[in-house]
Structure 1
C-alpha cells in the first residue's frame, strides 16, 4: 500500500497519524505480513546525510514516520505538511495496549538488564505474563547478533521493540531483517524503556507540543546529549532551509 509522503533531506516520510500507523500494524499481523517501521527525528535525518550505512538502514524500511515535532515543522516549511508527530514511545505504548487486546506477543530488546526487566515486570503486572514473548538487554558484541536474531525469531513474538541508540538499532534491523521476517512488526524505540521504567523522566506535554522535548532530555544528560541535540538540530535546521531555498530557485 502507498501513502502520501513528504520528502525531507532525501527521505520520504509517510503522512500518517498514529491511529493510522496502528491500523497498518494490526492489518500486517492479521495478514501475517511484516511492517519494518523507522521513526526519524531531526538528529537522525542530519546523521543520514553523512552516514551511508545508517541511511541505507532507514531507507530499507517500508514505513518511515516523523518521530519529532521538528520534522513536522520542516514538512510545513517545505510545503508538504505532515498530519502529526508519531512519537515512538507513544506509538509503542498504544501498540502494547493493542497486543493485550488482541492476544499478540511482544519482544523487548535493549537498555540495561535492570531497566528492561523492570519494564517486563510492569507489563506482566498490567497485562499478564502471556504478553511477553521474550526480552534481552541491549549490550552485546557483533558476534552475538546472529544468536540474538535467532532467539527473537523463534520467540513467537508478533512485535519487536528495539530500545538501543542509533545507528546500532537501525543497522541491526537491516542486517537481520530476513532472519526476522516472521516478526510482524520490527521497530526501534530509542530510549523508551528508560522512560517507561521510570529511570528517565519525559518532558511535560506542553514541552512536547512546542517541540522542546529534546531540550528536556538534554537537561537530564547534558554531557551525553549535547552533541546529538545541539549540533544535530542546528545542522538539521540549516539543511532544511537549504532544501527550501533550493526548491525556490
Structure 2
C-alpha cells in the first residue's frame, strides 16, 4: 500500500532513497504491465499547477519521488514532512550501482545527439557489468519514434530511462508507455547531460545545503527564468495550506 502526500494536488510517495531503489527494482522486473516512475521537483509541481494534463500524468505514476529540497520544504509546510529528498539523479546512480551485477536490461532515450552516446560510454567504463541494451537521442520525429519503440520492444527492456525535459518526457510516456514492452520507465530530465560530462553536479556540501540550484544557475545563467519557479512554488504551497486552493 503506497503512503502518499499531496502537494499542489500531485501525489508524492512517502519513502526514502533506499525504499525508492527497492521499489524501482520491483517495478522493473514485473512485465505484467509497464510502470511509470516520475521525479517531481518544485519547478515541475509549479508547472503542473497550471498544466492539468501534466498533473494527471504525474498522478497516474506508480511511483513519484521528491526530487528536490523545495518539495521537502513544501511537505513540512503542509504538516507532513518527508524523511528526505529522493533526487532523480541520485536514484538512478544507485540503481546503476546496485543493478550492475543483476540481469536487468536498461535502455536510454533522450538528450541531444551524441550526448547519450557519451553517457553510455562513461557508464560502461564505471560499471562494466551494467547491461545497457540500447540507446537513442531524444530528438524524435514520427518515423524514428516508431523505430525506437520497435527496438525497445525487441530487446525486452526492464528499465527505460527517458530524459527529454519537462513536460515532454512525461507526455511522451503518457502517449506511448502502453505500447512498450518494458518493466518500468523513469523520467530523468537532464541526467544524461551529467552522465556525459556536459554538466557538473554541485559539490556535495552545496547539495546538502540546498544550494544545488544556485550551482546550476552559475553554470547555466540562461536558467534564471526557470529558477523563479521555486519562490512561485512555495507561494502556491502556502496558499494551498492556509486558503485551501492552489
TM-score between both structures, scaled by the size of structure 2: 0.92
Instruction: Give the drift of 1:187.
Output: 0.6
Aligned pair count reads: 244
Instruction: Give the drift of 1:167.
Output: 0.7
Runs (5+) with no aligned partner, structure 2: none
**Secondary structure of residue in 2 paired with 1:66:** coil
Q: Matched residues in 1 for 2:218 and 2:50: separation?
A: 26
Equivalent residues in 2 for 1:218-237, closer than 5 Å: 218-223=217-222, 225-230=223-228, 232-237=229-234
1:157 and 2:157 are equivalent in the alignment:
yes
CA contact (8 A) 1:99 1:105 kept: no
Instruction: Give the drift of 1:142.
Output: 4.5
- Cα distance 1:31–1:151, how it changes in 2: closer, same or farther (>3 A)? closer
Q: Matched residues in 2 for 1:80 and 1:130: separation?
A: 37
Q: Matched residues in 2 for 1:8 and 1:126: separation?
A: 37
Q: Residues 130-165 of structure 1, C-alpha deviation per residue, up to 9 Å, x if partnerless?
A: 611100011122554333223222222211111111
Question: Which range moved further: 41-50 or 238-247?
Answer: 238-247
Equivalent residues in 2 for 1:3-14, closer than 5 Å: 3-14=2-13
**Secondary structure of residue in 2 paired with 1:187:** strand
- Cα distance 1:30–1:199, how it changes in 2: closer, same or farther (>3 A)? closer
CA contact (8 A) 2:65 2:88 kept: no
Instruction: Give the drift of 1:28.
Output: 2.8
Question: Which range moved further: 11-20 or 54-63?
Answer: 54-63
2:23 alignment partner in structure 1: 24
Q: Deviation above 6 Å: which 4+ runs of structure 1?
A: none
CA contact (8 A) 2:29 2:183 kept: no
Q: Residues 107-146 of structure 1, C-alpha deviation per residue, up to 9 Å, x if partnerless?
A: 1111122221111112223333761110001112255433
CA contact (8 A) 2:96 2:127 kept: no
TM-score between both structures, scaled by the size of structure 1: 0.91
Runs (5+) with no aligned partner, structure 1: none
